[in-house]
Amino acid sequence: MSVLVLGGAGYIGSHAVYQLVEQGEEVVVIDSLETGHREAIHPKATFYEGDIREIDFLRSVFKKETIDAVIHFAANSLVGESVEKPLKYFDNNVYGTQVLLQAMVEADVKHIIFSSTAATYGEPESVPITETMPTNPTSPYGETKLIMEKLMKWTEQAHDVKFVSLRYFNVAGAKETSEIGEDHRPESHLVPIILQTALGQRSHITIFGDDYDTEDGTCIRDYVHVEDLVQAHLLALDYLRKGGKSNIFNLGSNEGFSVKEMIETAREVTGKEIPAQIGKRRAGDPSVLIASSDKAKSVLGWNPTRTSVKQIIQDAWNWHSSHPDGYGKEG
């Protein structure tokens, strides 16, 4: 039996494929390579290049391979872009998942682990955020992820496809060996931008607002190491295979760090100056997002071991400094 990883050439997907292979799983990867990188795909995975909105393509993969579970990372994931291009997000994310579920029902595949987001909550009433708090997304991106969760809920009721939805907070870091890491084009995430500045590839980092209602005025986020985050997917796979019910879990560290604190930690880790300038607020940024991940710990037995901002930045720095062009100029 194989695990099918959709989006296995992307940042989080590629780390998942590595851990699955290391755990002895047979892995099949589907990726359109629109934002993923061929070089990030584990050489032991069987790779199919294609788009999940093409039902005949999905049908052919389900026919050729013996798949018992799907891990679904294949989506567009930029809040800002989703505000500009909402229909692109509904098409790739929502329609893509609809087609995927159709193909899973036809192939009688009963388990799906889904890459969701803290953006489903919107501006929280209080922190830490638990899974029972209201969901009021403030961007098309968050809205599409919430609709995708609902698609899975109703598909389960009709066709018994069990799902685990994992709502990620801020994911960063890289594999300890630096074989794979984060490479988005264009880059918009805080940790890689800080480290590209440390490498001299950017003259400075712009801090998006220092007038928030937080101690130092900059936004507070909850950072989780990509390797710990991926570990939760493997635990969720085990949970579903053992007959666990459909469920939703937050994945974060239960701790918040401001943008200024992240830059300061990166200065310590890298020994570089990392010039920073204060800029305007970025539209749609909540001031504070911190997860409660107690449910993932108690139900899945999740035990993050690399999630400290120092370790996250150290592992990310090892990747960026050894791969200053990411996966290469052509990407």
Measuring CA to CA, how many Å separate 254 from each of 130, 174, 257? 10, 20, 10
C-alpha distance from residue 331 to each of 10, 37, 38, 44, 132 (Å): 12, 6, 8, 21, 40
285 sits near ligand UDP (criterion: CB under 6 A): yes
Q: Is 83 in the site for ligand UDP (CB under 6 A)?
A: no
> Binder to ligand UDP among 82, 170, 246, 250 (CB under 6 A)?
170
Give yes or no for residue 259 binding ligand UDP (CB under 6 A).
Answer: yes
Residue nearest ligand UDP, Cβ-based: 219
Residue number with CB closer to ligand UDP (191 or 235)? 191
| Cβ-based nearer residue to ligand UDP, 95 or 208 | 208
- Which 128-147 residues touch ligand UDP, going by CB under 6 A? none
Q: Which residues pair with 251 in a beta bridge?
A: 168
**How many CB atoms lie under 10 A from the CB of residue 63?**
11
Please state the closest distance from residue 259 (CB atom) to ligand UDP, in A: 4
Does residue 12 contact residue 117 with C-beta atoms inside 8 Å?
A: no
Q: Does 167 bind ligand UDP (CB under 6 A)?
A: no
Q: Which of 56, 55, 153, 60 lies closest to 46, judged by CA? A: 60
20-27 long-range Cβ contacts below 8 angstroms, 24+ apart: 20/234, 21/45, 23/234, 26/1, 26/2, 27/2, 27/3
Binding mask 182-211 for ligand UDP (x = CB under 6 A): ------xxx--x-----------xxxx---
CB of 67 closer than 8 Å to CB of 20: no
Q: How many residues interact with ligand UDP (rule CB under 6 A)?
A: 15
90 contributes a contact to ligand UDP by CB under 6 A = no
Under the binding rule (CB under 6 A), the answer on residue 230 touching ligand UDP is: no
Catalytic residues: 141
For the chain, the C-alpha Rg in angstroms (whole number) is 19
Site for ligand UDP, rule CB under 6 A = 79, 170, 188-190, 193, 205-208, 219, 221, 259, 282, 285
